[in-house]
Amino acid sequence: MQQDIERILISRERIALRVHELAEQIMADHSGSTGEITLVPILTGAIVFCADLMRQLSLRMRIGLLTVSSYPGASLRTQGSNLLSQQLGDLRGRHVLLIDDILDSGGTLKLVVPVLQSMAPASVKTCVLVRKDRAVAREVHVDYLGFEIPDEFIVGYGLDYDNYYRNLPDIVTLRKSALEPR
Ligand code: 5GP
Ligand code: MG
């Protein structure tokens, strides 16, 4: 796995610092009214980010789950976003924070935000760790953003290639030799 890494784009130390800052911002915005929040990580890519972020949030919280597939198998570009499953519970009157790993074409957020909004929540906000430097990505509203990166294919910290590399602690690019289906 280590030999497949081309370069580290965002180190685990920078990620940890930024996750802490995002958590401070989220807490400042949610400590009023009910002081409660429902986190909805988009599976599978957002699991690592969500696991780190939620432990920095001292708010009363629930978790809902959504599974979206956009890069099935060995894809390097979005194949269109599909909602595969949802386990959201009752969101009526709740403050929802949707969490995703990366904003690329924006297709995922455009698919999912209306699904959440249709469930009569008190609010829906979005938190994305990484946004690619693309015009289409910048057009999509995000409430909390971790990093902006060049338009490159990345893995690690939850992000995969063919469902591998999610456990790498840093966000990295892969060598060409690793980007061939095996
Ligand atoms: P969008 O729907 O905005 O095009 O893309 C969002 C989803 O596509 C992300 O949640 C992620 O699953 C996948 N994705 C987009 N860019 C990348 C990338 O560079 N690497 C990986 N591993 N997945 C990506
Ligand atoms: Mg995803």
pLDDT for 1-46, tens place per residue?
Answer: 899 999 999 999 999 999 999 999 999 998 876 779 999 999 999 9
Let me know the angle formed at the C-alpha of 43 by 164 and 99, rounded to the nearest 5 degrees: 120
Query: What share of the chain in percent tops pLDDT 90?
Result: 86
Q: 105 in ligand 1 pocket by Cβ < 6 Å? A: yes
Does residue 60 lie in a domain region? yes
Please give the Cα distance from 179 to 162 (Å, whole number): 9
Does residue 172 lie in a domain region? no
Does residue 170 lie in a domain region? no
Ligand nearest to the CA of 102: 1
Give Dmax over CA atoms of the chain in angstroms: 52
Q: Cβ(103)–Cβ(137) under 8 Å?
A: yes
Give me the residues paired with residue 170 across strands: none
Q: Which two tokens stand for residue 77?
A: 């570009």
- Contacts of residue 13, defined as CB under 8 A and 6 or more positions apart, other chains included, come to none
Given the residues 52, 100, 101, 104, the one annotated as active site: 104
Does residue 181 lie in a domain region? no
Mean pLDDT value across residues 160-171 = 97
Please give the Cα distance from 68 to 121 (Å, whole number): 20
**DSSP label of 57:** -
The model's pTM is: 0.95
Measured in Å, residue 44 CA sits from the centre of ligand 2 at 6
Check residue 62 and give its pLDDT.
97
Does residue 180 lie in a domain region? no
Check residue 33 and give its pLDDT.
67
Q: Mind listing the pLDDT tens digit for each residue in 76-135?
A: 877 788 899 999 999 999 999 999 999 999 999 999 999 999 999 999 999 999 999 999
CATH code, domain with 111: 3.40.50.2020
Closest atom of ligand 1 to CA, residue 103: 3
Q: Mind listing the pLDDT tens digit for each residue in 58-74?
A: 999 999 999 998 877 77
Q: What domain range is 91 assigned to?
A: 12-71+79-153
Nearest C-alpha neighbor of 18 from the set 44, 56, 47: 56
Q: 81 in ligand 1 pocket by Cβ < 6 Å? A: yes
Does residue 64 lie in a domain region? yes
Q: 71 in ligand 1 pocket by Cβ < 6 Å? A: yes
Measured in Å, residue 58 CA sits from the centre of ligand 2 at 25
> How many domains is the chain partitioned into structurally?
1
Does residue 165 lie in a domain region? no
| Beta-sheet pairing, 36-43 with 95-103 | parallel
Residue type, 93: G
Does residue 16 lie in a domain region? yes
Residue 182 has pLDDT above 80, yes or no: no
Mean pLDDT value across residues 160-179 = 96
Measured in Å, residue 33 CA sits from the centre of ligand 2 at 31
CA dist 117 to 4, 48, 53, 107, Å?
Answer: 40, 25, 23, 16
